[in-house]
Chain A
Amino acid sequence: MNKILKYVFYDIIRNKIVLAYTLFLLLLSIGLFNLGGNPDKAILSLLNLVLLTVPLISIVFATTHFYNSYEFMELLVAQPINRKKIFLSEYLGVAGSLSGAFVLGVGMPVLLFGASLTGLYLLLTGIFITFIFVAMAFLASVITRDKAKGIGIALLLWFYFALIYDGIVLFILYTFSDYPLENATLALTALNPVDLGRIIVLLNLDVSALMGYTGALYKSILGSLWSVVLAFGLLLLWVLVPFVSSRRIFSRRDL
């Protein structure tokens, strides 16, 4: 497996888009840390950025990459090697290099200017989000052979998770505000990895952990170490479900 991974990885990290992405994150993070003065505030701004751009870049880049490597994967499939391994290598190559870009672009400034547990959570969340959205991109790519359609599905997925989902849930909450919705809300947020990531960071950021009755309730549910582990476990599930299902489709479909 790592026979291929090594080369895929090598190919992607020399990609201009990935380089630009790293640079973009790096400049933005350094800018935010030097502008705000307060590292907590910078981490909050970074969080917004991470939750918006990282999914977008990950999903679009991974989808285009998948379609561009189609013939290359064909060539690999003709080699004496398991399809699942090829798929895993491609996945790890893309997700790994994008996470690498993220760690370089955001992790280094965080480490330099705002090293804290929250910073670590932010990093972990960003890495998970990258892996999740690359997995979703691969799922979109194996569902359809048409590149334009695939990118369309990928963008829709991003749009849904980054924007529409929250809107829908807020609308539901508003509509059913007469009912006790605390636990339902918790469950609903677990159904969106972007929300899950946001809450992990938010509840550990002192500034906003204090969010009134419900906030305190969630803090008591989510604030402990176990629940952080649980939340990251859920994120892992969010990586595995699209990844395993897309790998399954990939290994059973015609190229």
Chain B
Amino acid sequence: MITIENLRKSYGKLQVLKDVSVSFGEGRVVSVIGPNGSGKTTMGKCILGMVLPDAGDIKIGGQSILRQHAYRSQIGYMPQIGRYPENMKIRQVIQMIRDIRKDAPVVDEELIGLYGLKEMYEKRMGALSGGTKQKVSAALAFMFNPQILILDEPTAGLDPISAEILKCKILKEKKKGKLILITSHIMSEVEEVADEVICLVDGQLKFHETIASIKAHTNEERLSKAIAKIMNEED
């Protein structure tokens, strides 16, 4: 569904992505892992069009997305830290994104209901806790039934129950045949929801495998150990 070809990006002298090529199919949950500064977020931002790559191409459904914007109607994005205009109410933020995506055929308000956001509709964004803002971000990402979801550290800042709700939602959407990209540092969580793992190190693709195959060839029961083993082997 998403094909990344020879993607390069550098900020000044710092090369963040060095010739990354990878592709993701639909109906999968892909976890993007890697040490800090390895280029995970940059890759996500390239797909979203926030960062413009120096070279290479990104295709969604065979169409290049560089310098396009309409394709984003197929994407739901949940940022790591959601910050919203302070004086807007939750209702207005949701209303605004709805206005932007007027032509979305289905509106999925499941998370709004599960997180009880409706009861807080008239609260100002400035008055909300970090966790509640994350709930709003999550609700917005899933709201328009997008084919692709990009979630940046989705459970960070959420309480365990809310995190659980989110994980359930992720799995539910996966079953509908969607592609879900998650960056996360929490391996247990990755193990719970993801089918595949891609690992970036220093802007290069280290590996791209299914969780099952990783466990198989490292002979480890737990993913975190398996990953650690792979990393150490390299050194």
List the interface of chain A (C-beta within 8 A of B). 3-4, 6-8, 10-12, 14-15, 68-72, 74-83, 252-255
What CA separation (Å) do A8 and B100 show in the bound complex? 13
A80/B101 in contact, CB under 8 A: yes
- Mark B44-59 against chain A: 1 for CB-CB distance below 8 A, else 0: 0100111110000000
The B interface is mostly helix, strand or loop, or mixed, namely mixed
Contact A72 B85, CB 8 Å, known A3-B96, A3-B100 = yes
- When C-beta atoms are compared, the residue in chain B nearest to A255 turns out to be B50
What CA separation (Å) do A82 and B70 show in the bound complex? 8
The A interface is mostly helix, strand or loop, or mixed, namely helix
Contact A15 B100, CB 8 Å, known A71-B82, A77-B50, A255-B50 = no
* Residues of B in contact, count (CB < 8 Å): 34
What CA separation (Å) do A80 and B76 show in the bound complex? 10
What distance in Å separates the Cβ of B63 from its nearest Cβ neighbour in chain A?
A: 14
- Mark B137-163 against chain A: 1 for CB-CB distance below 8 A, else 0: 100100000000010000000000000
Contacts of B73 in A (CB 8 A): 80
A74/B50 in contact, CB under 8 A: yes
What CA separation (Å) do A69 and B96 show in the bound complex? 15
What distance in Å separates the Cβ of B91 from its nearest Cβ neighbour in chain A?
A: 11
CB of B79 within 8 Å of the partner chain = yes
Known interface pairs A11-B85, A71-B82; 13 further A-B residue pairs with C-beta atoms within 8 A, sorted by A's residue number: A3-B96, A4-B100, A7-B95, A11-B87, A14-B87, A15-B86, A69-B85, A71-B84, A77-B50, A78-B75, A78-B77, A80-B70, A83-B69
Which residues in window 1-37 of B have CB below 8 A to A? Answer: 11
Contacts of A15 in B (CB 8 A): 86-87
| Most chain B CB inside 10 Å of its own CB: which residue of A10, A12, A82 | A10
What distance in Å separates the Cβ of A158 from its nearest Cβ neighbour in chain B?
A: 25
Contacts of A76 in B (CB 8 A): 100
Contacts of B81 in A (CB 8 A): 71
A72/B83 in contact, CB under 8 A: yes
Contacts of A80 in B (CB 8 A): 69-73, 100-101
What CA separation (Å) do A4 and B98 show in the bound complex? 11
Contact A255 B51, CB 8 Å, known A69-B85, A80-B71, A83-B69 = yes
What CA separation (Å) do A81 and B137 show in the bound complex? 18
CB of B92 within 8 Å of the partner chain = yes
| Most chain A CB inside 10 Å of its own CB: which residue of B69, B97, B150 | B69
What CA separation (Å) do A175 and B84 show in the bound complex? 53
B72/A75 in contact, CB under 8 A: no
What CA separation (Å) do A87 and B139 show in the bound complex? 25
- When C-beta atoms are compared, the residue in chain B nearest to A77 turns out to be B50
Contacts of B96 in A (CB 8 A): 3-4, 6-7
Can you list 21 A-B contacts with CB-CB less than 8 angstroms, sorted by A residue number?
A3-B96, A4-B96, A4-B100, A8-B85, A10-B87, A10-B92, A11-B88, A15-B86, A15-B87, A70-B83, A71-B81, A71-B83, A75-B79, A75-B137, A75-B140, A78-B48, A78-B50, A78-B77, A81-B100, A253-B52, A254-B45
CB of B234 within 8 Å of the partner chain = no
What CA separation (Å) do A70 and B50 show in the bound complex? 12
B85/A78 in contact, CB under 8 A: no
What CA separation (Å) do A254 and B10 show in the bound complex? 11
CB of B99 within 8 Å of the partner chain = yes
Among candidates A69, A71, A77, residue contacting B49 with C-beta atoms closer than 8 Å = A77
What CA separation (Å) do A253 and B51 show in the bound complex? 7
Contact A74 B79, CB 8 Å, known A69-B85, A83-B69 = yes
Among candidates A4, A75, A255, residue contacting B82 with C-beta atoms closer than 8 Å = A75
Contacts of A7 in B (CB 8 A): 85, 88, 92-93, 95-96
What CA separation (Å) do A4 and B77 show in the bound complex? 18
Contacts of A10 in B (CB 8 A): 87-88, 92
What CA separation (Å) do A14 and B83 show in the bound complex? 17
A255/B87 in contact, CB under 8 A: no
What distance in Å separates the Cβ of B84 from its nearest Cβ neighbour in chain A?
A: 6
Which residues in window 116-142 of B have CB below 8 A to A? Answer: 137, 140
Contacts of B11 in A (CB 8 A): 254
What CA separation (Å) do A81 and B50 show in the bound complex? 12
Contacts of A75 in B (CB 8 A): 77, 79, 82, 84, 137, 140
What CA separation (Å) do A69 and B86 show in the bound complex? 9
Contacts of B100 in A (CB 8 A): 3-4, 76, 79-81
What distance in Å separates the Cβ of B16 from its nearest Cβ neighbour in chain A?
A: 10
What CA separation (Å) do A7 and B96 show in the bound complex? 7
